Structure 1
């Protein structure tokens, strides 16, 4: 299905609601849509041992959190590299230049290539940065933002034009979670109510035993669900104020998918598509 304008999308939903399933189905149906994962960007730099990767790796090993500003710079760098940001003002100062400068801003920070990025964002992004509205500049952003504060910061880089709130009742989601079995070596996931293993308790490929995740207990999942509800409410309010929030409810992924696809087509695809 061909799109007529750029889609800049995030999916918001409780753990186990099926964000991964819906993302995969959107990506398969709309080839112009690109998956952008903040976690993948970070892991790439850790794997390739860029200066940023080394810094992030040490932060993670020490139990720290990667600063939001650093994630924003990674996203902005990725969008600029793809040619999706127009009139992006120069914000990079090389380490060599920084060393020779008589005045280096104290809040400067290293970018993905080891250069120094000034951490403040443009005061009015609409005057300095324009995001391409070409359909090829469409993306599904995964892993960020998770809070209203992060969403507000993201506006200085790129405006989201569809925030999807996926809703499934707690008992239904927990029934999925409680019936889940994992083959740890491969990561293959089974479920007692759908996609059950051919032999109960055994991996279809290797025949090895399946296990349950420690955090699949009701108490642990209830805590995760409640925490999501608290943090997501302000996030959804932010996107409601922006006029881009769309909510969809269903008892299963198969029930949600056609509704989501129809809304996506209505917003981003030509009537004749």
Structure 2
């Protein structure tokens, strides 16, 4: 059984790498962002509250994130392990997490703020089917139009320079103590996330001596 935490600033490819690792090693990918997006899509009470916070360019509170992750982990459907994406968010949560789960290590995807801004502000979302695009790496065949359903591509409400600056500042302030705590108690692999996705994955596999076949 393998259990990992993956951390990284917005736009660093955290979700992509978590999904690739989950598929390769049969792990359950527990993404805080995906859980919240599901609630927003299906108009739950939690989804409405999260949408208000996100649309204001703010981060969802730590207590709410913690409760969502605890509830998800309690399902115990991760027979071969899990990779948690988007948690823990502060040192207190990290301490609790380490007391509760014996993890294999932490993946920390590193990327300069300037590259984060370039990537995040190039993201687009189909207003019809919800498919993600990035105008740097995955442009649609027809400008501003989804290749799959023909819907209009829009920028997420929180993908604007002001909101991104707030999130970057908040991330650095909260994440540095978490990484420092992890480094005292667990193996933390610092990975250059400016590489292409396959190179990033290969670096993670190498750092943790995971099987390659």
TM-score calculated relative to the size of structure 1: 0.62
2:22 equivalent among 9, 18, 27: 27
- Tell me the number of residue pairs that the alignment of Structure 1 and Structure 2 aligns: 201
Identify the residue that residue 57 of structure 2 maps to in structure 1: none
The structural deviation recorded for 1:62 is 11
2:144 equivalent among 197, 201, 217: 201
* Structure with greater Cα Rg: 1
Q: Alpha carbons of 1:209 and 1:191: their partners in 2 closer, same or farther (altered >3 Å)?
A: same
The structural deviation recorded for 1:223 is 1.6
Q: Is the CA contact 2:36–2:50 (under 8 Å) kept in the aligned structure 1? A: no
Which residues in structure 2 correspond to 1:1-273 (within 5 Å)? 6-31=1-26, 33-37=27-31, 66=63, 70-71=67-68, 74=71, 77-79=74-76, 82=77, 136-254=79-197, 255-264=199-208, 266=209, 268-269=210-211
Q: Alpha carbons of 1:243 and 1:62: their partners in 2 closer, same or farther (altered >3 Å)?
A: closer
TM-score calculated relative to the size of structure 2: 0.77
Other structure's SS at 1:216 match = coil
Q: Alpha carbons of 1:167 and 1:74: their partners in 2 closer, same or farther (altered >3 Å)?
A: same
The structural deviation recorded for 1:206 is 2.9
Q: Stretches of 4+ moved more than 4 A in 1?
A: 37-45, 56-73
The structural deviation recorded for 1:245 is 1.2
- Cα distance in 2 for partners of 1:202, 1:73 equals 38
The structural deviation recorded for 1:243 is 3.0
Residue deviations 1:195-234 (CA, integer Å, cap 9, x gap):
1010111111233322122322222212211110110001
Q: Is the CA contact 2:19–2:29 (under 8 Å) kept in the aligned structure 1? A: no
Q: Is the CA contact 2:193–2:200 (under 8 Å) kept in the aligned structure 1? A: yes
Identify the residue that residue 93 of structure 1 maps to in structure 2: none
Mind listing any 5+ residue stretches in structure 1 that lack a counterpart? 1-5, 46-52, 85-135
Q: Is the CA contact 2:28–2:81 (under 8 Å) kept in the aligned structure 1? A: yes
